[in-house]
Amino acid sequence: MLTTAFSPHDHSHCITTAINHAQDLCADRSVRLTPVRQRVLELVWHSHQPIGAYELLASLAKEGFNSAPPTVYRALEFLSEQGLLHKLESINAYVGCCNPDTPHQGHFLLCQACNQAQELDSQYITLALKHSAEQHGFEIQSHTIEIVGTCQGCLDKSKAVEYKI
């Protein structure tokens, strides 16, 4: 079994790492990780679940940031362009990306029980997509791969309940 977002872990460490990483990466690329942008990234990482734009906006408002929609959408756009987060199209929510150095679009496992998301970057899936596209003479530019279901931890919990009955 691999380590995933679904497994228990020290999430504050994830956040710190992600933010430091983002700072370095933005410095390298000479783009500005401004206060709003950094704060949005922190909030996205701080949430254990994919988070929506308006929820982010509410948090920003509480903290004294400007709270009109364009503020958060601009930050999300910037972070997305820099590969620092991904949008989950099927639920209109955003998650931090663990591997922003190499541009990519991930494949996601979404648990409907705990509402957490795990990013994958499966070569099997990538190859299968390529293969299917080639069969149709189709040239791939981007993709949305979101798998909804139940994660290991939630399956274990529901089994535990079952046995106690």
Partner DNA sequence: CATGTTATGTTATGTTATAACAATCGTCAA
Partner DNA sequence: TTGACGATTGTTATAACATAACATAACATG
Residues that bind DNA (CB under 7 A): 31-32, 34-37, 52-55, 65-66, 68-71, 73-75, 77-78, 87, 92-93
Pick between residue 35 and residue 122 the one whose CB is nearest to DNA: 35
Minimum Å gap between C-beta 117 and DNA is: 15
Minimum Å gap between C-beta 89 and its own copies is: 4
Which structure tokens are listed for 35?
């206060």
Cα distances (Å, whole numbers) of residue 152 to 116, 145, 158, 163: 12, 19, 10, 17
Residues that bind its own copies (CB under 8 A): 1-2, 4, 6, 89-90, 107, 109, 111-112, 118, 120, 122, 124-125, 127-129, 131-133, 135-152, 155
Contact 18, 96 (CB under 8 A): yes
44: closest CA among 78, 104, 81, 86?
86
Identify what 140 binds: DNA, its own copies, none; CB under 5 to 8 Å per kind.
its own copies
Pick between residue 54 and residue 138 the one whose CB is nearest to DNA: 54
* Per-residue buried b or exposed e for 122-160, using 16+ beta carbons within 10 Å of the residue's own CB: eeeebeebeeeeeeeeeeeeeeeeeeeebbebbeeeeee
Minimum Å gap between C-beta 48 and DNA is: 17
Identify what 31 binds: its own copies, DNA, none; CB under 5 to 8 Å per kind.
DNA
Minimum Å gap between C-beta 73 and DNA is: 4
Minimum Å gap between C-beta 135 and DNA is: 29
40: closest CA among 91, 13, 80?
80
Question: By CB neighbour count within 10 A (0-12 exposed, 13-18 middle, 19+ buried), where does 91 fall?
Answer: middle
Pick between residue 63 and residue 121 the one whose CB is nearest to its own copies: 121
Give me the amino acid identity at 64: G
